[in-house]
Structure 1
Amino acid sequence: MERRGSGRIIRMSLNRPTRWAIALVLIALAVAISYQWLDRPIAYFAHAHFHNEPLFTRLTLIPEFFAPLAVLAFLVLGLRALVEKPLTRLEAVTLLCALSLVVASAIKNQLKLVFGRTWPETWVRDNPSLIRDGAYGFHPFHGGAGFESFPSGHTTAVVAVVSVLWICYPRFRVLYALFVAVVVIGLIGADFHFLSDCIAGAFLGASTGWVVVTLWESGGRVPVSTERMSR
């Protein structure tokens, strides 16, 4: 009990930007460790044991449905707002999921250009890859589809949505974690991404969801997070 209490006091004593900065440092460390010691062995293992395994590829298709659903949610809820009908909590959460996805995807696209990482396998336009060419590393601002492995867009998308739900409906967090794990396992098993790509994508998605919810509630709108509703 004392440990829980002390941990809660420490979290309360740190403001939100400080906690995010600490998390960023820890994620950067995790990415560095994965890049140096884990990414290549995992990619070689996946290629040797799961190459062309359709199950892993199917698992990666889950986030593909998010973008059209986000557009649909934005249109429907936007029309509702135009006729001056207030959003319910569920509708507000749905809108925030859509906004988080859109913002995270836009940031992800810019980060892919900034980092310019090659892919585990050769997929597009004869791209250089670890498996075929032994190509491994970052090439900042290189540009081109062959240098867009980092961060993982699929992981970013799924966590951008799940992070909003994580904050607003915490009772289902086990299911959210399993949902993310399924997508990440598919990406790594199919050799679509390195582990560190997924780590970075998860942090980006989680950060976006958290910021979107915080901005929404700071404007005095209908509360969506359990923390704000309990006040």
Structure 2
Amino acid sequence: MRPRNAPAIVLIAGIVVATAAACFFLDRSFALFSYAHFHHARAPFVALTDLVDLLEVGAVFGLIWAGFIVAGGRRMGPNGLIALRATLALFLAIGVKQLAKYAFGRTWPETWTCGNPSFIRDGAFGFTPFHGGAGWSSFPSGHEAVVCAVAGCLWTLTPQLRPLCVVAVLAVGVGLLGADYHWVSDVLAGGLIGWLIGLFAARLTFEQRA
């Protein structure tokens, strides 16, 4: 008898395989393509990634709002709990992606900060686990992890928002790749990590005092 979660396991395994395949066969060629075609016209792609900044600002205010409700001894309604879960998913994704970036120690497609080694400028390509430093923190994509964490949570709890979730995830992914901010495999891995965190947050239980 097939387990109930078999489709999810197959999907996760597929993304893991796709991420590994992208590392070997797609990342470098796509980075070169993006640099050649969009380097001097990347502003629209950068703007798409700004969606994550808006989510993070909203999450801060959401957490403050939840704190006032709890401090005031009031109960949060169903929509409030959904917002709280999405907020917690976002902050959890930020923490997990930071640890993952340090663990994998991957260089970036282009040079962005403090003269970091990159593929476009130096031909650098690979992982140096636990190296540390901003120049070795490309994998996984934190932006994609964050947007997918929120999207994964809302996808589960608010089916009516699923089209919006898909648009947000794709928009940020396209922005990251078009701006040459990340490798394709970075985006795939970040998306998977964020989505799993979102599903976890959606299933959390909160006990509220009467």
TM-score (norm 2): 0.92
* 1:139 aligned to which of 122, 128, 131: 128
Q: How many residues get paired? A: 207
Distance between the aligned counterparts of 2:79 and 2:40, measured in 1?
40
Contact 1:112 1:151 in 2 (8 A): yes
Root-mean-square deviation (CA), in Å?
Answer: 1.8
Distance between the aligned counterparts of 2:10 and 2:134, measured in 1?
32
Question: Structure 2: where are the runs of 5+ without partners?
Answer: none
Give the CA deviation at 1:30. 1.0
2:25 corresponding residue in structure 1: 37
Query: What per-residue deviation string (whole Å, max 9, x for no partner) do you get for residues 73-97 of structure 1?
Result: 1111121122221111111011111
Query: What per-residue deviation string (whole Å, max 9, x for no partner) do you get for residues 150-186 of structure 1?
Result: 0001101111111111011112312211111111101
Contact 2:154 2:202 in 1 (8 A): no
Q: Return the letter of the residue paired with 1:144.
A: G
Q: Return the letter of the residue paired with 2:149.
A: A
User: 1:1-231, aligned counterparts within 5 Å?
Assistant: 10=2, 13-14=3-4, 22-53=10-41, 54-216=43-205
Distance between the aligned counterparts of 1:125 and 1:70, measured in 2?
30
Distance between the aligned counterparts of 1:135 and 1:160, measured in 2?
30
State the secondary structure of the residue aligned to 2:26: helix
TM-score (norm 1): 0.84
Contact 1:152 1:200 in 2 (8 A): yes
Contact 1:52 1:190 in 2 (8 A): no
Contact 1:60 1:154 in 2 (8 A): yes
Percent identity over paired residues: 39
Give the CA deviation at 1:68. 2.1
Give the CA deviation at 1:220. 6.2
State the secondary structure of the residue aligned to 1:45: helix
State the secondary structure of the residue aligned to 1:61: helix
Larger Rg: 1
Question: Structure 1: where are the runs of 5+ without partners?
Answer: 1-8, 222-231
Contact 1:151 1:198 in 2 (8 A): yes
Contact 2:149 2:194 in 1 (8 A): yes
